[in-house]
Amino acid sequence: MIEVTDLGYRHHARSPWVFKHHSLSLKKGEVGAIIGPNGRGKTTLLKALLGLIKPQQGSVTFAGLPAYVPQGTDTSFPYRVRDLVVMGRARTLGLFASPSREDYRLADEAMARVGIEALANRRLTELSGGQRQLVLIARALASQCDILVLDEPTSALDYHNQNRVLAVLEQARNDGVTVLFTTHSPQHALAIADSVLLMFGPDEYRFGPCDEVLTDQQLARLYNIDIRTLPFEHNGQAHRAVVPVFGSMA
């Protein structure tokens, strides 16, 4: 469960608010998506609600242990995938402790959950963007988290890998993990999210169920371009396709 109330953050006391009075709530096992244009503060919002930066306003309640999946990892030391995933266990390890056999078992389990067992002994630098993303998700899962917070987990991935990541997130949700992710793709929100938060401006946002919030009007307003959501059917199920009309201005 995640409960965010009236969250506000600015970099300095005198700088303008990046966002303020933002609230959202997700129940256990729900998926939430955060959508907003570049530079609107999606990543900042995630960091503030995780406490990686200190919000000046509002409160955040997590029922359970959160884990963060950053957009990418940029270490000067190309660790092996398994050694990187086991770092998800760091929270439980004392200052002088190294991961035990049990910690490695949990890491292996997490790698199996996202389907990257075969990469265990590869180095991070040898992996593709999609594989790296899965490694970071596995690391978060290895912490046995109840809440998964991901920063643009599908950016820079091809359709196949987007599909893989989304499937992994759905799987996590089915296991009872609450998932919150930022994305530039409303389509991804439609695919797996229960609720969505649109960041229009510093003190203007909309949070609610996907079907209500992700409308043509709202999307057009968000991106300042005409966007249509077109209904279609696949395997007897109703879907909507998000189609931006490039060249148009809303």
Partner 1 sequence: MTSQIAPALMPLRVRGGVWWLLGAFLVAVMLVSLSTGNYQVPVNHVVGILVSSWWPVEVTWTPVEARVVELIRLPRVLIAALVGASLALAGAALQGALRNPLVGPQIVGVSSGAALGGVLALFLALGTAAVIGSAFVFGALAMLIAYSMARVSGNSSPLTLVLAGIVVSAFCSALVSLLTYLANPEDSLPTIVYWLMGSFATTSFDKVWVVGGVLLLAGLPLVLMRFRINVLSLGDEEAQSLGIPVERTRWAVLALCTALVAASVSVSGVVDWVGLVIPHFARLLLGPDHRKVLPASMLMGAAYMVIIDTLARSLTSAEIPLGVLTAIVGAPIFAWLLRQSSRRGALHD
Site for partner 1, rule CB under 8 A: 47, 50, 52, 67-68, 70, 73-80, 83, 87-88, 90-93, 95-99, 123, 125-126, 139, 143
Which residues have a Cβ under 8 Å from the Cβ of 13 and sit 6 or more positions away? none
Nearer to partner 1, 91 or 105 (CB): 91
Nearer to partner 1, 128 or 215 (CB): 128
Nearer to partner 1, 121 or 174 (CB): 121
In this structure, the number of other CB atoms found within 10 A of the CB of residue 216 comes to 15
Cβ 223 to partner 1 shortest distance, Å? 28
Query: Which of 199, 190, 140, 142 lies closest to 162 in space, CA to CA?
Result: 190
Cβ 88 to partner 1 shortest distance, Å? 7
Nearer to partner 1, 155 or 163 (CB): 155
Cβ 60 to partner 1 shortest distance, Å? 14
How far apart CA 97 and CA 72 sit, in angstroms, is: 26
Cβ 163 to partner 1 shortest distance, Å? 26
How far apart CA 79 and CA 215 sit, in angstroms, is: 44
Nearer to partner 1, 46 or 199 (CB): 46
Cβ 4 to partner 1 shortest distance, Å? 17
Cβ 15 to partner 1 shortest distance, Å? 14
Nearer to partner 1, 127 or 242 (CB): 127
* Amino acid letter for position 52: L
